[in-house]
Chains A and B, each alone.
Chain A
Amino acid sequence: MKESTTDTKSSSEGSEENPEAKRKRISNDDLYRRSTQFEIWSYTAESLEAAKKKANAAGQIIATKRFNEAFAELKKASPEVFENNKDKLNPESLLNLITFEEESKYLNYYTPNIIQIAKFFKMPTQVKLTAVSFFKKFYLENSVMQYHPKNIMYTCVFLAAKSENYFVSIESFVKALKGTDAKDILDLEFIILSSLKFTLLVHHPFRPLYGFFLDFQAVLLHPSPLMYDVSVNTLGTLYDKAKNWLNENAVLSDVAFLFTPPQIALAAMYDVDKRVTDRYLKRKFLRDHADKLDDIKEEPENGDVKKEEAKVKIEGDKNIDNDAADSTATKTHGETSDIQTQREQYETLVRTIRKCIKVAKQVSKSPQDEVKEIDRKCFFALNPRKLIEKQVKKIAKEAAPSEVV
């Protein structure tokens, strides 16, 4: 487990001894950075892909080992069959592992089912999202070639329901799932908890979305409406559409590994209504100059920015050795760099939001027939004995007629 981080300061420390650090307020962002979601479960696009590949590779190794053991055992039981049919009964031709791409498709197929199960039990959104999160995290640590996704999926819903305070007894839970025993679920619960590295708290974008809904009203409607066609009602519609957007797109995608909940919430709003959301962001980040900027046409605006950029660059170089380059720059260079910082923040945010929208919409539906084939492979990866036995039977069947004759 991680070491506890910076906040080991004793409670009496602070005011007199460390005037420098004084009055630095803890923001929600600071708090988020200390959550396990940020510390353990946040990735870059590259590191996320690497984690998935690693899980698949580890799964292949385990499945291969399992296969080899079964093969050796069966061979020992009837050596002559294996000896006589080397061309058909050898690990190279039989072993058919699930590739990285297949594993991704397979998991994408399962994710929507989690939501269906949660819906069936009339569980709140919170449970749905947490269950999906557990499921996705589990398969960053494990492969479908180790644990078949079906029962993992059920157990994730069961555990998520408990973790989100929506308790369902195991009897009523398995009663609704045909062909699954209580034991199947309960045995996996602990394994899932370990794979989750004992972290259960998941921050979802719905709370920040609600916060933005309120702040949109504050910023865009008060003291007087900024846009002639924006009212409480239109913002309410925007909010509802954004909720649907999150439920339809974001939930199934990997955005939660790559972006913070407020970024995801803003992405939803931006994609639902770019004009209103952009106006809000401009007002928020470029507040002192927003009105001016709105009046300026595209070209001169860009011209100004370039000039400002150049200025800050020159002055910024002087501060290159300064640890607190950022804050110093803002303080000493006054308004110009203030505008500059704000503009940069705004632009970075919009870029991030756009990226988030792209990722959220990336999830493609896995074609049924392909999934069926992967499902078959998965079954045999988990039960190699059955695969080999099946082949032995097939050989025997092929051999049988000739023997009769």
Chain B
Amino acid sequence: MAQAALPKSSLTVTSAPFWHCGRTLKGMMTDTLIALTPAMAMAVYQYGYHAVEVLAWAGLAAVLAEALAQKIMAREYTADDYTALVGGLLFAFMLPATTPGWLVCIGSALTILLGRMVFGGYGMSPVCAPAVGWCVMTISWPDLIDINGMLLNWDLVHPLSELKYFGLEAVAGLSLPSLMLGQNLGALGAEQSLMLLLGGAYLIARKQLRWYIPVSFLLGVFLTAQLYHLIDPQRYAPPLFHLFTGGTMLAAFFLMPYPSASPVWRTAMLLYGLFGGAVLIIIRTYGIYPDGMAFAVLLANMFTPLFDLIQPKPFGGR
């Protein structure tokens, strides 16, 4: 009873830590946003107003969904720390630029709600939230999210669909620079391979991202594609084609290293990346979707607890 009588402000007792290195979630997300900017700029340059619309709806719906969920769950508001914004934008990066607004909103909200908030929030979900959103949307409305079908007005081709339905000859004419600069049809952000590579390099340089997962993922993609290419060069695309089409770069730098859904120790991260890359190529080769990048990411996420069993030996441990 005596405690209640004391004024609250004079005796504030907090627990450790008292000393911070200054790194915050908001800072991390600001860097991620900066890393996404070149790809966004390229997308806007290529698709104009449509890309702006999709990106804006996705970001808005994600932030609102997170704020709403935190209100219902009686949690502290963290919707302004950019995690939801980045989640929504990453989801939008996997859509064609002419996706209807309502689909973008539903998908972006589900990205946050089903991919993140049902598990307790950012940093607690065992799966990569944007990949969850994309998978739910693809299963529900495959025709409205199909890249070839939605971008009929553009006089270009979607490399992976061409490869899937018309064989290797159909994509043999596409040059590597055009693939890297996203001068083909594709998901609005995921197709900007070179820009995403630059963004990823920026994240690694800023030490917001360790290189193990991206590099091992790209290596996994390269090696598996090379293996298929060696088996039958007439049927399977060369590895560089797979590296710079579809969502490979987006998955490598932004989806696979999703915090809380990827392993933490070096060896485990390397194996996780290799596994994800191999699964991506296997899905692209045998799956019914031209680019099953999100499925590959989710499958790799499911294996994270297994990879996490690989742990460093503690100093002095036996």
Tell me, yes or no, whether A binds B. no
